[in-house]
Amino acid sequence: MNAATTKEHHKAAAPRVKITINPVGMDRPRAWLAAGIEDFRQATAVSLAYGMFWVGLSIAITAGAITLGLWHWLLPMVAGFMFMGPLVAVGSYGVSRALEASRAPHLGDAFGAWRPHAGQLAMMGVMMMIFFLAWIRLATLLFALFFGFEVPSPAGLYSALLTTPEGLGMIAVGSVLGGILAFGAFTISVVAIPTLMHHDLTFMEGIEASVRSVARNFRPMLLWAAILTGCVLIGVLTFYIGLALILPVLGFASWHAYEELVRVEVIDEGEPLRG
């Protein structure tokens, strides 16, 4: 009985919030990117260290796939990075918060940023993993549809992708379907994770804030999605090295996007509101 009473007490004591989504103009994505570059300039050493960690991990995964003979998984895995990117940015959010608090950020701000809200961030991680696994499954089906079940040599596959009707068809269909899936992941996550890091909310409230941000500012957010995708693609084409700079900058920029888009107000009484 006491345990049940305590549980009800904590439930009743949980803050109720009003989440307001602000409208933004088409110029704001470029402003967020500029703000991210400025944050990188102010915390260059920590930012590069954090970025290099993910570069090293990406290189290790790539080398492992090649060593194990799973090289044909590299393209869908690299493309699938888009689905896990919001989680990679968590450390950048911690650095941005330290800068806003007028203190020098350190690696603890980057690698420990997830701890205060580990449970809700883990749930967001599960959601993003579902999108990633869906993409891998889709890529497998597309490969089987266009090339059958025989895995050609690396040189043969990459040549076929660019020079045969089957390869070009797979790229076209995969780009369309993958883009739709990626935009779905972007829609539920673009401001969800920084919202969860800044406020004591559930992961569903974070997703709600993210979806409503995209719905209310569709054109600016579509531009922002294109900027994120283009920057990550550039980083990957530099054999991951460019990601050491690009990932922290995009993380900082995403934090500034959240701050401009989402306003969370705690209310003391009445039903939870969503403005």
More confident residue, 223 or 71: 223
Output the pLDDT for position 7: 40
Helices and strands in the chain, H and E counts: 14, 3
Residue 14 pLDDT grade (very low, low, confident, very high; cuts 50, 70, 90): low
**Does the structure show a pLDDT above 50 at 2?**
no
What local confidence, expressed as pLDDT, does residue 268 receive?
60
Joined together, the tokens standing for residue 30 give 């470029």
- If pLDDT is split at 50, 70 and 90, which confidence band does 81 have? confident
Pairing status of strand 262-267 against strand 273-274: unpaired
Average pLDDT over residues 259-272: 76
The average pLDDT across 26-36 equals 96
Q: Above 70 in pLDDT, residue 13?
A: no
- Name which residue leads in pLDDT, 271 or 119: 119
N residues, the chain: 275
Listed in sequence order, the residues at least 6 apart from 261 whose beta carbon sits closer than 8 Å to its beta carbon are: 21, 22, 24, 191, 213, 217
What single-letter amino acid sits at 162?
L
Band of pLDDT at residue 66, cut at 50, 70 and 90 = confident
Q: What is the mean pLDDT of the chain?
A: 86
Alpha-carbon distance 110 to 114, whole Å?
Answer: 9
pLDDT at 154: 67
- In tens, the pLDDT along 181-206 reads 999 999 999 999 999 988 888 999 99
Residue-wise pLDDT tens digits, 159-172:
777 788 888 888 89
**Structure letter (DSSP) for residue 206:** H
**Regarding predicted confidence, which is higher, 48 or 162?**
48
pLDDT at 151: 66
Instruction: Render pLDDT for 214-251 as a digit per residue (tens, 0 to 9).
Output: 999 999 999 999 999 999 999 988 989 999 999 999 99
* pLDDT confidence of residue 155: 66
Which amino acid is located at 171 in the chain? I
Residue 86, amino acid: P
pLDDT: which is higher, 211 or 270: 211
For 98-136, give the DSSP string: HHHTTS---HHHHHTTTGGGHHHHHHHHHHHHHHHHHHH
Reduce the DSSP state of residue 63 to 3 states and report it: helix
- The model's pTM: 0.84
pLDDT digits (tens, 9 = 90+) for 131-187: 998 998 898 898 888 877 776 666 677 777 778 888 888 889 988 998 999 999 999
Give the count of alpha carbons within 13 A of 245, CB side only.
12
User: pLDDT-based confidence at 3, cuts 50/70/90?
Assistant: very low
* Least confident span in 22-36, 50-64, 68-82, 120-134: 68-82
For residues 274 and 109, which has the higher predicted lDDT (pLDDT)?
109
